[in-house]
Amino acid sequence: MPQKYSPEFKARALQLIEERIQAEQCSGWVACTAVGGALGGISTRTLQNWWNQNRIDHGAAPGLSTSKAT
């Protein structure tokens, strides 16, 4: 069964990903890999899914926003 994460935890993870991308000028995948390890081994794919959806929700990438999907 998938593990549930609080909205606060997800928000902090997304903040860490953005900070890593800006500080190191790296890709989202590299940032998600590093942050996942720092947060106790969260899957890179999970973090990338969160990050991609967050970008869509904020208009930075095309796709179906969370608010329109529900």
State the pTM of this model: 0.87
Per-residue pLDDT tens over the stretch 14-45: 999 999 999 999 999 999 999 999 999 999 99
Q: Domain-by-domain residue ranges, the chain?
A: 7-57
pLDDT of residue 3: 66
How far apart (Å, rounded) are the C-alpha atoms in residues 36 and 40?
7
Structure tokens at 31: 């940032």
Output phi, psi for 5, to 5 deg: -120, 145
How far apart (Å, rounded) are the C-alpha atoms in residues 26 and 58?
20
The amino acid present at 54, given as its one-letter code, is: N
Question: What's the number of CA atoms in the CB half-sphere (13 Å) around residue 57?
Answer: 11
